[in-house]
Chain A
């Protein structure tokens, strides 16, 4: 920025000038002085439009003191002094060629940058000569931040949509292999899509901040409870999981429940499921130990090959940095999960 000359003469002239139009315009100057919009007046008759008046809002926007600002050229605040495009826009403002104002990037005294919308109007003498310019600045920081935030949200949404489509594609691909029967395929696809949709609802209801274990269990088991209310018991202190983990757990519980309804303790009239968990300290840090215990179902025989459900459960647990054991006992399946406890959980 151009070095300011000795304050004395120039400053005195400027102050005298301001004093004179303060006297002439009275209430208007008081208004300019106290409005929340940042404003300056410049001397149109000197090169580079030196600033001869700056209101308090301008000073708080830029971080400079009045003494530092008065006498500086109008463009001393520009973030990039040689930015030709910005210079052209500012020149356009001075020429009155812009109606809507121009967005210019400025720099505060502390070095931080901000965007402002700049509006400039000429102040004419009685002879019609332009003697001063009046410039106002609207701080666009909040607007620009909001725009950047929206952009991020849109990118994130796009990312999720593409991933969801890829997931749906794989659901369909897999369903087509399970059966030659169209009705059966339809059933498989619908069940998985509804499960996916429900877990998204759950996360959405908390703004994608995560979900509590109690809620996500209830949610995942809801489609299977009908008429079996007393046969599924879940006990444990609620634990908040991050969205990703909540989604994984919710799919895992859905798979376990699907299996229970098809082959396990919910496939007859007498069986039940007990789900219990607690947080325990281990050598690898605090972990959630969860047991899914089925009993009183038909006698269980271990599956001959690793089915879809068990692959999903293993994969998801692995994804959470945990381990899982599916123990197919004759008396009923026992699934034991050990996953890292979310930070800050179970301390209160």
Chain B
């Protein structure tokens, strides 16, 4: 009954609606019941400031603008995240060592990356 992601809170920041919903469903299949999503920088930043997340998936570009402000907010709160992008460019200065996943990506690969990002299960919540 204990699925890979049960009890985890994951934030998805993505502006392609169908992709966003699919990621939600992929994570839900793995037992993640609290997937929270945002498709704009403002909404994502206010979610990061107001809630606790175990990990996040962050699209580098939202509605044509950089989502760097969200990366800063996540980093400030110590939330690990993977950067998703359709570009081949580098990610932002200061975030070059972060996990990156290039669109389109295998959902299994996304899950593997998220699993690696998560703090150990033994750590008491």
Contact A312-B17, Cβ < 8 Å, known A158-B86, A244-B64: yes
Q: What chain A residues lie within 8 Å of B16 (beta carbons)?
A: 163, 166-167
Report A76 CB to chain B, min CB distance, Å: 36
Q: How far is the CA of A134 from the CA of B43 in the complex (A)?
A: 62
Q: Which of A236-262 contact B (CB under 8 A)?
A: 244, 248, 251
B107 interfacial by beta-carbon distance below 8 Å: yes
Residues of A within 8 A of B86 (CB): 158-163, 166
Are the CB atoms of B39 and A315 closer together than 8 Å?
Answer: yes
Residues of the A chain whose Cβ atoms lie less than 8 Å from the Cβ of B19: 163, 166-167, 169-170
Question: Digit string of B86-112 for contact with A (CB within 8 Å is 1, else 0)?
Answer: 111100000000000011110100000
Q: Are B87 and A173 neighbours in the complex by a CB distance under 8 Å?
A: no
Q: Does B66 reach chain A (CB closer than 8 Å)?
A: no
Known contacts A155-B87, A165-B103, A171 near B64 by CB under 8 Å: no
Are the CB atoms of B39 and A166 closer together than 8 Å? no
Instruction: State the CA gap A189–B106 with chains docked (Å).
Output: 19
Is B63 in the interface zone, CB < 8 Å from A? yes
Q: How far is the CB of B92 from chain A (nearest CB, A)?
A: 16
For the complex, count residues of B whose C-beta is within 8 A of A: 25
> What string of 1s and 0s marks CB contacts (under 8 Å) between A157-199 and chain B?
0111111011111110110000000000000000000000000
Closest to A156 in B: B64
Of A23-31, A215-223, A267-275, A316-324, which stretch is located at the interface?
A316-324
Q: In this assembly, does B18 line the interface, its C-beta being within 8 Å of a C-beta of chain A?
A: yes
A311 within 8 A of B: yes
* Complex interface: chain B residues within 8 A of A248 (CB): 17
Q: How far is the CB of B93 from chain A (nearest CB, A)?
A: 18
Q: How distant is the Cα of A87 from the Cα of B61 in the complex, in angstroms?
A: 41
Q: Assess whether B63 is in contact with A244, with CB atoms less than 8 Å apart.
A: yes
Residue of B nearest to A167 (CB): B18
Q: Nearest Cβ in chain B — how far from A193, in angstroms?
A: 11
Give, as a whole number of angstroms, the nearest-CB distance from A67 to chain B. 46
Q: Complex Cα distance A170/B17, Å? A: 10
Is the Cβ of B20 less than 8 Å from the Cβ of A166? Answer: no
Interface readout for B28-56 with A: 1 if CB under 8 Å, 0 if not? 00000000010110010000000000000
Question: In the complex, what residues of B have CB within 8 A of residue A163's CB?
Answer: 16, 19, 86, 103
Query: Which residue of chain A has the shortest Cβ distance to B14 in the bound complex?
Result: A166
User: Do the beta carbons of A315 and B17 come within 8 Å of each other?
Assistant: yes
Residues facing B in A298-335 (CB within 8 A) are 308, 311-312, 315-316, 318-319, 321
**Is B103 a contact partner of A166 (Cβ separation < 8 A)?**
yes
- A170 — which chain B residues lie within 8 A by C-beta? 18-19, 21-22
Q: How far is B104's CA from A330's CA once the two chains are assembled, in angstroms?
A: 42
| Residue pair A158, B63 in contact (C-beta under 8 Å) | no
Q: Which residue of B lies closest to A163 (CB)?
A: B86
Name A155's closest neighbour in chain B (CB-CB).
B87
Q: Is the CB of B17 within 8 A of A316?
A: yes
B88 → A minimal CB distance (Å): 8
Give the distance in Å from the alpha carbon of A311 to the alpha carbon of B18 in the complex.
Answer: 10
Point out the residues of chain B lying under 8 angstroms from A311, CB to CB. 21
Complex CA distance for A39 and B2, rounded to whole angstroms: 79
A248 to B15, CA, bound (A): 10
User: CA of A173 to CA of B110 in the docked complex: distance in angstroms?
Assistant: 15
Q: Which chain A residues border B103 with CB–CB below 8 Å?
A: 162-163, 165-166
Q: Are the CB atoms of A319 and B21 closer together than 8 Å?
A: no
Q: How far is the CB of A72 from chain B (nearest CB, A)?
A: 40
**Closest chain A residue to B87, Cβ basis:** A159
- What is the minimal beta-carbon distance from A203 to any residue of chain B, in angstroms? 13
Instruction: Provide the residues of chain A in CB contact with B37, threshold 8 Å.
Output: 315
- Chain B residues with Cβ under 8 A from A162's Cβ? 86-87, 102-104
**Residues in A neighbouring B15, C-beta threshold 8 A:** 244, 319
Residues of A within 8 A of B43 (CB): 318
Nearest CB of B to A314, in Å: 10
B26 to chain A: closest residue by CB = A173
- B5-24 contact mask (Cβ, 8 Å, vs A): 1 or 0: 00000000001111111100
Sample 12 A-B pairs with CB under 8 A, ordered by A number: A158-B87, A158-B88, A166-B19, A166-B104, A168-B104, A173-B22, A174-B25, A244-B15, A244-B64, A315-B20, A315-B37, A315-B39
Extra contacts, 4 of them, besides A155-B87, A168-B104, A311-B21 (Cβ < 8 A), are: A158-B87, A165-B104, A166-B16, A318-B39
